[in-house]
Amino acid sequence: GAVVSQHPSWVICKSGTSVKIECRSLDFQATTMFWYRQFPKQSLMLMATSNEGSKATYEQGVEKDKFLINHASLTLSTLTVTSAHPEDSSFYICSARVWVNTEAFFGQGTRLTVV
Amino acid sequence: GENVEQHPSTLSVQEGDSAVIKCTYSDSASNYFPWYKQELGKRPQLIIDIRSNVGEKKDQRIAVTLNKTAKHFSLHITETQPEDSAVYFCAALSLMEYGNKLVFGAGTILRVKS
């Protein structure tokens, strides 16, 4: 299957700093990538849909100024958590699809801990 | 928008028994329903999916059934093994104006006791 690579796999940062997470599709072009947040023992909550060359579409309740998404190329999307606070600590996962109505491939996730 | 409900939240079975997880969805326009398995701290992995033009699909010990009229779909795992223990998520593809997105169920923690 297609490979989606996400980096870093874990990061610890100080409160008030910003953290950038990268999501790359290694062997296919993804016009659309998705960013999820997952709290312990909970489901995947979609944060935003990232479209190459255009602004991301954010889900209701997700602060677009807090979670900056850039999809500059067909193989790379980034999520920047700005001015991180302890409540932003979570597992962030990206996914990408080759076509609509087909399998979504997930990155390995990033465990963010804000201290 | 799409709403996906998943039951049960936890399921314990004896090794060799079958496990069934059920999901319902709200959007009759949804046409793609994948199931993902997620082990602790790892990425979700697709285990099986079904499209709305099919009522049942099987892959070895795993099967999925879809009832479009009732808007529910189920995952069936037969001859369960300890390595089947994980969290399982169902999802439905929601058709939006700006694109399509997967809406996930809350997940089922499956424990297979040996």
Q: Test B106 with A108 for CB contact under 8 angstroms.
A: no
pLDDT (tens digit per residue) in A14-31: 999 999 999 999 988 887
Pick from B42, B46, B103: which is nearest to A103 by CB? B46
CA angle in degrees (0–180, nearest 5) for A47-A51-A55:
80
Pick from A46, A91, A109: which is nearest to B101 by CB? A46
The DSSP symbol for A103 reads P
Distance CA A99, CA B10 (A): 33
Q: How far apart are the CA of B76 and the nearest CA of chain A, in angstroms?
A: 19
Task: Read off the pLDDT band of A38 (50, 70, 90).
Answer: very high
Q: What is the mean pLDDT of residues B20-39?
A: 95
pLDDT (tens digit per residue) in A47-106: 999 888 888 999 999 999 999 999 888 899 999 999 999 999 999 999 998 776 677 899
Task: Read off the pLDDT band of B6 (50, 70, 90).
Answer: very high
Q: Could you tell me if B99 and B93 are in contact, meaning their C-beta atoms sit under 8 angstroms apart? A: no
Q: Test B41 with A46 for CB contact under 8 angstroms.
A: no
